[in-house]
Every structure is written in C-alpha cells, then in structure tokens.
Structure 1
Amino acid sequence: MKKANKLAVLSMSAVMLAGLIGCSGNSGSGSGPAPSGGAAANDANSAAPAKKFDGVSLRVVTANHPWTEALKPMIPEFEQATGMKVNLEQFFEDQLTQKLTVELTAGSSSLDVFMIRPLQDAKLYMKNGWVADLTEKSKDTEWDFNDFSEGSVSTLMQDGKLYGVPLITEREILYYRKDIFEKNNIQLPQTLDELKAAAEKLNDPKNEFYGFVARGQRSPAVTQFSSFLYSSGGDFIKDGKATIDTPEAIQAFKLYGDLLKSYGPPGVLNMSWPQALGVFAQGKAAMYTDADSLYPNMLDPQKSKVPADQIGFAVFPAGATGQKPYNVTSWGLSMNSKSKQQDAAWEFVKWATNKENSTKIQGAGNPGARKSVWSKPEGTKAFPQQLAEVMDKSSQIGVGHDRPLVINVGAARDLVGTVIVTAITGGDVDKTAKEENAKFQALIDKEK
C-alpha cells in the first residue's frame, strides 16, 4: 500500500512538472483527463493546434469545367492546411447561371464563392451588388495581382474596383495551312491587307477550296469580328456612346464581310464555330480566324482531315492601329457580397488562383491569365509550342472584351450582327450601321 502511494505521488509530480516547463512527451497510461493549456497543445499525442479556419464550412459553386476538375484533387491539401471544409457544387453552365441568379436575387448568405462568366454576367452582378469588392484583399503582394494580364481582368473590374479573379482565358488567332502557303510561296500574313491578298490568291471555289473561313451567322460572328474592329481602330462603345457607325467600324465591317463574301465557302451565313471550323478541318480552306480554345478539334485525326503538322497558328494580323486581338476571360471566380465568411472565402480564392496552382491547372490544358505561368515550361506543356507562343503574345497585347459590354448582351450582339450580315450579303453597310447604331444607343441609354 505504501509502494502504491509512493508511485501515485511520483506520477502526479511528473505531470505537474510537465505542465510547469511545457515539455512534450508521453502522457502516461493514467485514465484521468489530459491536462489543459500549453501542455495539451504541445503534447505529441494530443490534437494539433487549432487552425485559423477550423470549423468553417465553405460553400463553393462551380461549373462542370476542366478547371474545376483540375482543382478538385488539390482541395484536400487546402482543407488540411486551413482546417476548412470545402463543399463543392458543380453544375452545367445554364444550370449554374440559373442557380446563381435565383440565390443572389434572394440575398442568400450561404453561398460563399462561385464561378462567373464575366462577358455575360459581370455587368449585371456588379450593378446589383451581388459580388464582393476584392480590391483591398487583392493587394496581397505574395499573391501578386499584377501578374494577371491587363485584358483578362478588365471585365471583372468597375470604377477601378475588382470583383473577381480570372480563371480561363481565350484569344482570337489565325489558323492557317502551312503546306498550302509553302506550295504557293506565300508568306504568313502580318497585316489584314496581306490576309485579304492571300485569301484572294488561294481562293479556288471551282475545286471547293476557299481562301478564308470564319463565323458568318449573325450573333455568333460578333465575337470573332471584334478583333477586326479593334485592329481597325474601332470599338463597340466609347464613353457610353455606341460607335458601330464610325468610319473605323464601317471599314472593319466591310473587310470582314468582303472576306467571307468573296473568298469564303457557300452557306457562310449559317456558320457558327462548329460549321466554320469543320470547313477548315476538312481541308477546304487556307485560313480561319477564331478562338485559340478550338485547336484540339483540328489536331484530332477523328475530326480533322488535315495533318496536325500542317496546321499553323499565328497572332491575329495588324490593322490600321496594330495587332489587337481579343484576350478575354471566359470564366472567373467571385465572392458573394452577402457571405458571412469573407476572410475564409478569400483564402480559398487566393489559394485556387495563386501562382503554383495556376501553373498546375494551366499545365493540364486550361489556359489562364497569369503572365508568369505563360513563361514556364510547366505552364505551356499541354499546348503545341507554336500555339503556346502565339497565346502568350496575344494575351500581352489583347483587348479584354469580344462583344459589347452591356447587360443585355444578346440584343446588342444581334444589332452588331445585323451589320455583319449586311456586309457579307453586299448590302448598304453605311446605312445599316447608322440604323443599328441608333438602336444600340437606345439600348445603352435604357440600361443607364
């Protein structure tokens, strides 16, 4: 009995000593509760120290997109590092838009982070106050906001404030047939005038081969026409005024229309990207301008009759004001302004879009917006070398929108597209541009 008491005293003394000097080690086999305070926090067999976001459950709503698929395997690392639980929800594009509109209109605070389509939705979301202002948070020097290309962030900004972070970008480029150019001893067009001259020389409709193909369908054509517009010195809107009837715009309409009317395939008025791409991929056109994101379709032997090594990629040719292809953000990441977990939400956004993860995600074939990633072999390994170089240069010089930046984008595209169709069919471009510009101005004024 004396021996047992002696052991108990020694055991209690050891515990008290451990508590006083804060040393770690085995806690012993006693059945009593573990000591609290510093001893428990530092005990190797006790729970790890609390993390900043322990117990936070973050709701993140995304699109069914390759970007999401590339990020998902990395999320457990984020949860482990922060103590956060990420509840990821994925939807098809139209479902996502509908879900976000319903929840944000209702003022839901349960939604924390979500993917956004800047070109279609940002204007409305910013006007309604649905997206959180990230301006101050984005000043984190380690995260480095300045690493994002200027064009990619422009549609996520308003009045100098940032409302989202770009995830996926695309640019308009020139696709061309290397073998056809070499056979005819034609140099790669550096200007739009040279592009037209090459299209004229290579056009051979009697043998069902055409000098140029692009979208000709009214609304879908607008985005690809935009690079012709910018490179000619025009734009859709300037200082709140519709500008699709300026001399620069009319010149661009006539050039685009003439290329498709004189050197394009039959039925071009019914062509969106699948049809126009199909003409090029079937070996029936020398040149094609469209988004760089479409390139996998051309390199797939199941979809293309043109050998992959005969397809060239080039920066969009220069017009009167130089090379000005669009460089747009098709998907961004924003935070709900009503979320009650702003710091946790930003922690996720910052992590998902940091340099390291952006490199991994782009390396999986998802073209992003960080300038530094385009300069890394790990960031460009998924793309053909020539294409990666073209994408990099285009993102440096590109314009950040490929359509009118208004809330009612569909109606605006129809107005611009009407002028494009008039140009393709050989109608009175000047007259139509003036009429559609007046309608466009009324649309802009109504939204104000």
Structure 2
Amino acid sequence: MRFARKLAAVVAAAGLALTAGCAGAGSLGATDQTVTIAMVSNSQMTDARSLANRFEAANPDIKLRFVTLSENQARAKITASTAMGGGEFDVVMISNYEAPQWAENGWLVNLSDYARNTPGYDENDFIPSLRESLSYQGNMYAVPFYGESSFLMYRKDLFEQAGIEMPHNPTWQQVADAAAKLDSQDMVGICLRGKPGWGEVLAPLDTVINTFGGRWYDEKWNAQLTSPEVEKAVNFYVDLVRNHGEPGAATSGFGECATQFAQGRAAMWYDATSAVSVLEDPASSKVVGKVGYAMAPTVEKPNSGWLYTWALGIPKSSDKPDAAWKFISWMTDQNYIKLVGEQLGWARVPPGSRLSTYQIPQYKEAAKAFGQVTLDSIEGATPAKPTVQPVPYTGVQFLAIPEFQDLGTRVSQQISAAIAGQKSVADALEQSQKYAEVVGKTYQEKP
C-alpha cells in the first residue's frame, strides 16, 4: 500500500493516469547501441551536448541520443517514465529530491556498484553533503553532474558608487534596503524568481520562509502555511519583488533572471550558485568581473542556502545499463571537468560536485571571486534541519516527500498569482494551507 501511494503521488504530479503507458526506446527510433538521455536544458547540459562527440569517438559502439526539456517539462516526463518503468530513457537527469525516494521504490540502478569498479572514478571525491543526498542505505543511486547551494549576487561597482557595503553574511533587511536604494528606471534593485513550479519560485522562497522562522508542517504534520512566520516571509518576498524586482516577475524563473542580471539590468540576484557559469562567461555576460558574491541572506536561521544537485541516474527499466554507466562516468569524471575548462573556459566548469575541482590551479584562479563562497554554501546547507523549529521532513528548498511535486506546484501557482497582483498573499496562503492540509492528513493517518 505504501508503494502504491508513492507511485500514485509521483505519477499524479506528472499529470498522467496510472493506466497510462510509456513508449519504449525502440519506438523512438533508437538502435540497440543508442543510449537515450533525458536532460534539463540548462547551460551546463548544453555544454555537455557540445562535447559529447568526444565520448562517441572514444566509444564507437555507443551512440548518444539527447532529449532536452525545460525544467518543469523534464520533471514531469522523467518522473512518469521512470515510475511506470517504460524504458524510454537509459539515463535520466534527476536531483537529490528524487534520487533517495526513487531508490527506495526500486526504480534506480545502484551506481555505487559501478563506481567502485571503475578505475580512477573515486566516488569519495564528491562533496560529502551531495553524495549523502543522492544515497539510499549507504549507496549512491545517482551521481552529481553539478551541485549548488544559493547565494546573493550583487554588482560591486554599483554598490561602490552608491556607498553601500555588502557584508559577507547579509540579512534580508539589508538586501531589501539596498534594492530600494539601487532601483531606478534603467536598473531593478533585485531579481527573484516568481515563475510557478516547485523548483522555480518555491526554491528561493522556501529558504526565505525557513530563515524567517516558518515551516510547512509542525512535528505532527499540521500544516503551517498560514502561520505568522510564513505570512511575514511570503509578504516580504512578494513585496520585494513587486516593488523592486524585474518586470514580469510572475513569469520569471532561473533563466529569465540569469538574462536580466547578465545583461546588466539588475543590481542583485538571489539564486543558485551555479549561475556563475553564465555570469562569468564573456560570451553570455556583460558583467564579468563586476559581480560580488555573498552568503544566502538570513533573518533568524543561519546557513539558509539550499542544497541541490542535478545528477545522473539509470532507471531500472533501461536495458543498456552498462553503456549508460559508461556515459554517466564520462560526464561526471574529473577528466570531464578538465575537458570543459580547457575547451570551453574554466568559468564554465560544472561547479560544486567534486572536491578536487577546487584544487585545480586554473579553476582556482577563474573562481577566486566565487569558488570559496560556493563551497562554503554547499557544505553549510542543512537539509536534515532546514528550519528554526522542528519539522517531520527533510530538505531546504523542498520537502523530501513524493507528494511535494504536486503540492509544491499548486502552492507555487498561488504565490505567482500574488506576485502578479491577481490575489492577496493572505488569500494565496489560505488556499495553499488547504492543499497542505490534505497531504498532512495522509501522514497523520499512517501507523
């Protein structure tokens, strides 16, 4: 019954009925030697595709077929395919939200077995917090391509001109004050995500809720989304982005904010540490060398940054796990990191996955502005204790329960509506509370 409930939750989140079928790899025109890879269309993944011919040249018996989708689309399609065991994909890009849950459900191949038998791969080189977040019962079921926490990015030149000093550990009030002072006709004070999606607006917002002393549930799974702490945090976030944020904030996610900041149209941006690959690349950014990096802003709870990794796993339904592992080990190996640095530039190296990355002289030089704060943010994240008060769940910017894909998406839609001015924060949270209560009751009823 427990497994059936989990299966129903993840498939419902993907928007499919339990009776729906999934196309097998053969129906996509793939050959027996083709490894089909489902990936999110972020910049680091685009780089991987551009270098994939190196893998195929070294492994002429394996052909690669990439299916790249936006984050929300990828989550839905990968979740449905893996849960239903359709065999559509041989490699899936998932996160530390899915990996341990899916491993428990028996949907993923144990990759520690492969890693330990691959000379020089060294799974112990992965940053410990990431390695643990992708593990189940001591084994990794996905390996990190890149890891991230969250931090504050700000224009050093603009702050200096305005006479504002940004501390290494800012408070949210200091950020709000700076945003108000730097906001102008040509420059917004700050970029913040407002786009619906549990991995979009809720990622930064949840860290704000946590540090304001809020939580989704109390220890007995009573929903807390209308508590004074949550209401204060959400009002702060919505007011900040409405008053001093980017135009069209309700439809802005990571990609839109990256463009705004990289093109010099925002004074600050609070988001993923992985954004440096865009901001410090002259090919995509007008602010190279002008950006300062500070720890995630706080109120009550310190170390408020999230912990996240885009990682690669092999569904149990794949009939080519050995070939799939060959590709995964190539894309997550130390040599791949050096390849990106040498071919595409050291600022574009997938950050936050391996400890050894931070010992490469060329990367240390390229990352001197952001490398240490990135590492400190990842190592300081506290997914096992994400809030000020005790909670029955783990995860900083998400709740590590299968229902959160659907619950988080519904709540995010309410928050986006408030950012768009379509409803008040109080009304958005009242509806969100009702959604959360339904999920909370299922846990209260469990023996």
Normalising to structure 2: TM-score of the pair? 0.67
Counterpart of 1:255 in structure 2 is 236
The answer on 1:375 being equivalent to 2:359 is yes
SS in 1 for 2:174: helix
Amino acid at match of 1:61: T
Which residue of 179, 182, 187 corresponds with 1:199?
A: 179
Amino acid at match of 1:433: L
Note the C-alpha offset of 1:208: 4.8
| Cα 1:231/1:148, change in 2 over 3 Å | farther
Which residue of 153, 157, 182 corresponds with 1:179?
A: 157
| Cα 1:438/1:75, change in 2 over 3 Å | same
For 1:419 and 1:117, the matched residues in 2 are separated by 25
For 2:74 and 2:412, the matched residues in 1 are separated by 28
Of 216-225 and 171-180, deviating more is 216-225
Note the C-alpha offset of 1:216: 2.8
SS in 2 for 1:312: strand
Counterpart of 2:67 in structure 1 is 91
| Cα 1:299/1:156, change in 2 over 3 Å | closer
For 2:281 and 2:358, the matched residues in 1 are separated by 24
Note the C-alpha offset of 1:131: 0.7
SS in 1 for 2:370: helix
For 1:273 and 1:352, the matched residues in 2 are separated by 23
Of 125-134 and 94-103, deviating more is 94-103
| Cα 1:270/1:99, change in 2 over 3 Å | closer
SS in 2 for 1:92: strand
Note the C-alpha offset of 1:334: 1.7
The answer on 1:169 being equivalent to 2:150 is no
Which residue of 62, 66, 83 corresponds with 2:37?
A: 62
Counterpart of 1:353 in structure 2 is 332
Counterpart of 2:398 in structure 1 is 403
Which residue of 410, 414, 425 corresponds with 1:414?
A: 410
For 2:103 and 2:220, the matched residues in 1 are separated by 17
Of 411-420 and 340-349, deviating more is 340-349
Amino acid at match of 2:300: A
Of 253-262 and 421-430, deviating more is 421-430
Counterpart of 1:38 in structure 2 is none
Counterpart of 1:13 in structure 2 is none
1:175-227 CA-to-partner distances (Å, cap 9, x unmatched) read 212122111221114322321232233344xx454432322344432222233
Is this contact kept in 2: 1:168–1:366, CA < 8 A? yes
The answer on 1:227 being equivalent to 2:211 is no
For 2:362 and 2:231, the matched residues in 1 are separated by 43
Counterpart of 1:390 in structure 2 is 373
Amino acid at match of 1:157: S
1:90-115 CA-to-partner distances (Å, cap 9, x unmatched) read 2223589748855873565x97x513
Structural mapping, 1:309-388, within 5 Å: 309-330=289-310, 332-338=311-317, 349-350=328-329, 352-361=331-340, 363=346, 365-379=349-363, 383-388=366-371
Note the C-alpha offset of 1:419: 4.1
For 1:298 and 1:224, the matched residues in 2 are separated by 19
Counterpart of 1:118 in structure 2 is 95
For 1:235 and 1:60, the matched residues in 2 are separated by 42
Which residue of 230, 245, 248 corresponds with 1:264?
A: 245
Amino acid at match of 1:336: P
Is this contact kept in 2: 1:120–1:407, CA < 8 A? no
SS in 2 for 1:386: coil
For 2:75 and 2:350, the matched residues in 1 are separated by 20
Q: CA RMSD in A?
A: 4.3
The answer on 1:133 being equivalent to 2:110 is yes
For 1:68 and 1:87, the matched residues in 2 are separated by 12
Note the C-alpha offset of 1:158: 4.4
For structure 2, the residue ranges without an aligned partner over 5 or more in a row are 1-31, 40-44, 384-394
Structural mapping, 1:155-166, within 5 Å: 156-158=134-136, 161-166=139-144
| Cα 1:120/1:425, change in 2 over 3 Å | same
Note the C-alpha offset of 1:342: 6.2
For 2:283 and 2:124, the matched residues in 1 are separated by 41
1:306-362 CA-to-partner distances (Å, cap 9, x unmatched) read 5533333333233322132223112x2223335677677657655653444444456
Which residue of 159, 177, 192 corresponds with 1:214?
A: 192
SS in 1 for 2:164: coil
The answer on 1:105 being equivalent to 2:88 is no
For 1:267 and 1:100, the matched residues in 2 are separated by 29
Amino acid at match of 2:62: V
